[in-house]
Chains A and B, each alone.
Chain A
Amino acid sequence: MVVEIKNLVKRYGDFLAVDNIDLSIDDGEIFGLLGPNGAGKTTAINCIIGMQKQDKGKILLFGKEFDGNDSSIKRDIGIVPQDLALYLDLTCYENVTFFAKLYGLKGELLKSRVQEALEFTGLWDRRKDLARKLSGGMKRRLNIACAIVHQPKLIIMDEPTVGIDPQSRNHILQAVKELNKKGSSIIYTSHYMEEAEELCSRIAIMDNGKVIAQGTKEELKAFVTVEVKTEFELSAINYTLISCIKQVYGVRECAYQDNLLVVVSEKDSKNLSKIIDCIVATDVDIVSMNIEKPTLETVFLTLTGRTLRD
């Protein structure tokens, strides 16, 4: 277990920002922390890295209790803060070098690690440019380079893709996967469900300071799914067909309009082949077919009654 959090509570005055959460992150996984604005994700992360002192709860990193001071633990953590944390009047190279030195890197190793981090984030060619002169996406990448130069075992990324174009975003997502392949465990915070779907093995969903669900993508979806909706576009629709489908096991509803047929079934009823049999038997052609699967977005909607981004 890379990270284990028990009963974490953090207040700002009277306001409860993190409300008694438990999290555990396994070695080698990409763990998604999802939630809308103000859910408490950044606050939780700040407590994990020792930036803020929690009011209650235990934080174990690499199996050891962490109070925000232990250097041997800090050495193995890299943080990509939500807000850019760069010196705009230093060059890319100087930024990465500065932070690398805080981790005790020096000499040839320092140089090679800095080069590696800049190459990895695609900024080696821009190394002599002041951070101020970079585009938004490049600044985001430099923000990552500064966090990974010391090759931490645990990388915490707080919305690393916020506000950038799809190309830079893809670049970052690929980088996250690669870092994970190289052996780092990753905590990945995002508003974007698609990103979490693509990257994360396990996910926790936060809302109002609480973790409202936690598990693998499949577990989360299964947890919220009660029915499956299938849509067919057919060459024709007739009454025989409708009554045939209505008799199939698990079908709850069958509606149509023009040539569009919508069938709602209970989850896990595995009745798709039976439905198709009916269609074939009535001599109707299938033009197209679409099974609507639940997404993490649906999961969140079901759990909170709200969409993740407003």
Chain B
Amino acid sequence: MKVLNIAYYTILRNFRDYKTLTMMLLLPIMLILILGSALGGIFTPNSVSATTVCYLNQDKKFMSQDFEEFLGTDEIKELIEIKRVDSKEEAIQLIMNKEAASLIVLPSSFSEEIQNGRKASIEVYNSKYSSFRTSIVQSIINGFVKGTNAQLVVRQMGSSSPEYLRFDNLQEISVTAEGNTPRAIDYYAVTMLIMTIMYGTAYGNFALKEEKQLNTSIRLASAPIRYTEVILGKLLGSIVTVLLQAILIIIFTKIFFNVNWGGNIPFVIFVCFSLTLLSVGLGMMVSNLGKNPQATGALLNFGVNIMTFIAGGYFPASQMGPLMEKIGFISPNYLAQQAIFNTIYEGSSVQTMNFMLGIWIILIISFIIAGFTERRSAN
């Protein structure tokens, strides 16, 4: 109860702090709008290399014709350009040369599997440092595969089968795919959201130091409440504050900028929640390691800027050369961005899980260090 009391008043006070609120809400929304319209050119699919997809048909039987028909539809053509290849090696060469982003392979057993009512798979190879564009490819393929299976199953088993639900899924996916060409604003909405959440380190940094500055730490220390309850309350308050801000940005950009947040918003919010834990924990950790909260605050602020930059938050990493694409991995922003892009554009869920795992590892380490250093800085 006392923890909730502290959390509630922390949130209340955070939302009355108009200066910080401007930075956490107004600034990212302005940036989304400005970067989204100013740098729009980068995102129109004119750079062939980024949207060209190699296609290798090893099956060549009747089902592959269905697939090729599917690839030939106008919606798909708008998203990707198909380049037929004769071998994997040829495709890999093209991908290495950045002339293509992905390779789609129809395995030789494709038609047979479907005929036998088994789940057919289409192999997709993405360039190693895949930009979110390659996840579109995966999304398209997934849509086709799910749809095909469902249709077959429906034909065989009738509409009362639970598999029928998948049929709806197909349509949902193709609807998403239709409006799915990511515009600049869709890109920056994600990266600026992530940046804002990372600015949440400021709340972690000040959570306890602020009580010291306000002298209220004396009252908290003399009240019948344990120090851990104070910490938990402050943490909870900071986390809810940042998460609410993130949700406000999502809602606002959805309504006013028509930003595409994909079909799985709960998972997008879960990614935000995980990153919020990370940023508040990181803020608290750095705060404990330093003495002066103003100094650690400035350091964190600087750090968030760097992290945003190397993750391609201001300018897509894929446009900044291979080196930048590689070092992007060390930024928590990158992990969260990719997890969200993968969710919105239905990329590989294995990749998404790896990104999430990365976030949780960093956040757990932050909290462990913050916990160990807390006692020392409390006195």
Q: How far is the CA of A221 from the CA of B225 in the complex (A)?
A: 43
Given A85-B214, A86-B214, A87-B214, answer yes or no on A50-B12 (Cβ-Cβ < 8 Å): no
B222 A77 Cβ-Cβ under 8 A: yes
B222 A90 Cβ-Cβ under 8 A: no
**Residue B73 interfacial (CB < 8 Å):** no
Give the size of the chain A interface in residues (CB under 8 angstroms): 31
Q: Which 9 A/B pairs are nearest by Cβ-Cβ distance?
A: A71-B224, A85-B215, A102-B223, A74-B224, A49-B222, A101-B5, A51-B221, A89-B16, A81-B218
What are 8 sample pairs from A and B whose C-beta atoms fall under 8 A apart? A50-B221, A68-B221, A69-B226, A79-B218, A83-B215, A87-B216, A89-B17, A101-B1
Q: How far is the CA of A90 from the CA of B17 in the complex (A)?
A: 11
Nearest opposing residue in chain A for B2, CB measure: A102
Q: Beyond A85-B219, A86-B214: 15 further Cβ-contacts under 8 Å?
A: A49-B218, A51-B222, A69-B226, A71-B224, A74-B223, A75-B224, A77-B222, A81-B219, A85-B218, A90-B9, A94-B9, A94-B12, A99-B219, A101-B5, A102-B220
Nearest opposing residue in chain B for A78, CB measure: B222
A101 B2 Cβ-Cβ under 8 A: yes
**Residue B13 interfacial (CB < 8 Å):** yes
CB < 8 Å neighbour of A49 from B2, B13, B216, B221: B221
Q: How far is the CA of A90 from the CA of B219 in the complex (A)?
A: 16
Report B-chain residues with C-beta under 8 Å of the C-beta of A74. Answer: 222-224
1/0 per position for B8-24, CB-CB distance to A under 8 A? Answer: 01001100110000000
A102 B13 Cβ-Cβ under 8 A: no
Nearest opposing residue in chain B for A150, CB measure: B223
B216 A85 Cβ-Cβ under 8 A: yes
Q: Is the interface of A mostly helix, strand, loop or mixed?
A: loop
Q: How far is the CA of A49 from the CA of B16 in the complex (A)?
A: 31
CB < 8 Å neighbour of A89 from B1, B2, B13, B222: B13
Nearest opposing residue in chain A for B225, CB measure: A102
Report A-chain residues with C-beta under 8 Å of the C-beta of B17. Answer: 89
Q: How far is the CA of A81 from the CA of B225 in the complex (A)?
A: 18
Q: How far is the CA of A81 from the CA of B216 in the complex (A)?
A: 9
Nearest opposing residue in chain A for B227, CB measure: A69
User: A46 to nearest B CB, angstroms?
Assistant: 8
Report B-chain residues with C-beta under 8 Å of the C-beta of A90. Answer: 9, 12-13, 16
Report A-chain residues with C-beta under 8 Å of the C-beta of B379. Answer: 53
Report A-chain residues with C-beta under 8 Å of the C-beta of B221. Answer: 49-51, 68
Which chain B residues numbered 10 to 49 have a C-beta less than 8 Å away from chain A?
12-13, 16-17
CB < 8 Å neighbour of A102 from B12, B215, B218, B224: B224
Which chain B residues numbered 218 to 251 have a C-beta less than 8 Å away from chain A?
218-226
Show the binding face of A for B, using Cβ within 8 Å: 46, 49-51, 53, 68-69, 71-72, 74-75, 77, 79, 81, 83-90, 94, 98-99, 101-104, 146-147
User: B197 to nearest A CB, angstroms?
Assistant: 23
Which chain B residues numbered 253 to 304 have a C-beta less than 8 Å away from chain A?
none
User: B38 to nearest A CB, angstroms?
Assistant: 36
Q: How far is the CA of A79 from the CA of B218 in the complex (A)?
A: 8
User: A232 to nearest B CB, angstroms?
Assistant: 53
Q: How far is the CA of A89 from the CA of B12 in the complex (A)?
A: 9
Q: How far is the CA of A104 from the CA of B220 in the complex (A)?
A: 13
Report B-chain residues with C-beta under 8 Å of the C-beta of A81. Answer: 215, 218-219
Report B-chain residues with C-beta under 8 Å of the C-beta of A49. Answer: 218, 221-222
Given A85-B216, A87-B216, A89-B16, answer yes or no on A98-B9 (Cβ-Cβ < 8 Å): yes
Q: How far is the CA of A217 from the CA of B223 in the complex (A)?
A: 33
Report A-chain residues with C-beta under 8 Å of the C-beta of B1. Answer: 101
Which chain B residues numbered 154 to 169 have a C-beta less than 8 Å away from chain A?
none
B224 A103 Cβ-Cβ under 8 A: yes
Report B-chain residues with C-beta under 8 Å of the C-beta of A75. Answer: 224
User: B20 to nearest A CB, angstroms?
Assistant: 11
Q: How far is the CA of A102 from the CA of B217 in the complex (A)?
A: 13
A84 B215 Cβ-Cβ under 8 A: yes
User: A98 to nearest B CB, angstroms?
Assistant: 5
Nearest opposing residue in chain A for B219, CB measure: A85
Nearest opposing residue in chain B for A77, CB measure: B222
Nearest opposing residue in chain A for B14, CB measure: A89
Q: How far is the CA of A85 from the CA of B216 in the complex (A)?
A: 5
Q: How far is the CA of A68 from the CA of B217 in the complex (A)?
A: 14
- Greatest chain B CB density within 10 A among A53, A79, A102 is at A102
Report A-chain residues with C-beta under 8 Å of the C-beta of B217. Answer: 51, 85
A87 B9 Cβ-Cβ under 8 A: yes
User: B318 to nearest A CB, angstroms?
Assistant: 43
Nearest opposing residue in chain B for A87, CB measure: B13
Report B-chain residues with C-beta under 8 Å of the C-beta of A103. Answer: 223-224
Q: How far is the CA of A238 from the CA of B83 in the complex (A)?
A: 130
CB < 8 Å neighbour of B223 from A72, A87, A88, A99: A99
User: A34 to nearest B CB, angstroms?
Assistant: 21
Q: How far is the CA of A88 from the CA of B216 in the complex (A)?
A: 11
Q: How far is the CA of A98 from the CA of B216 in the complex (A)?
A: 11
Report B-chain residues with C-beta under 8 Å of the C-beta of A71. Answer: 224-225
- Greatest chain B CB density within 10 A among A79, A85, A94 is at A85
User: A90 to nearest B CB, angstroms?
Assistant: 6
Given A94-B9, A98-B9, answer yes or no on A104-B224 (Cβ-Cβ < 8 Å): yes
Report A-chain residues with C-beta under 8 Å of the C-beta of B219. Answer: 79, 81, 85, 99, 102, 146-147
Report A-chain residues with C-beta under 8 Å of the C-beta of B218. Answer: 46, 49, 51, 79, 81, 85
CB < 8 Å neighbour of A79 from B5, B9, B222, B224: B222
User: B225 to nearest A CB, angstroms?
Assistant: 5
Report B-chain residues with C-beta under 8 Å of the C-beta of A72. Answer: 224
Q: How far is the CA of A104 from the CA of B229 in the complex (A)?
A: 14
Q: How far is the CA of A68 from the CA of B220 in the complex (A)?
A: 12
Q: How far is the CA of A50 from the CA of B220 in the complex (A)?
A: 11
Q: How far is the CA of A215 from the CA of B17 in the complex (A)?
A: 49
Q: How far is the CA of A92 from the CA of B296 in the complex (A)?
A: 31
- Greatest chain A CB density within 10 A among B13, B221, B223, B225 is at B223
Report B-chain residues with C-beta under 8 Å of the C-beta of A50. Answer: 221-222
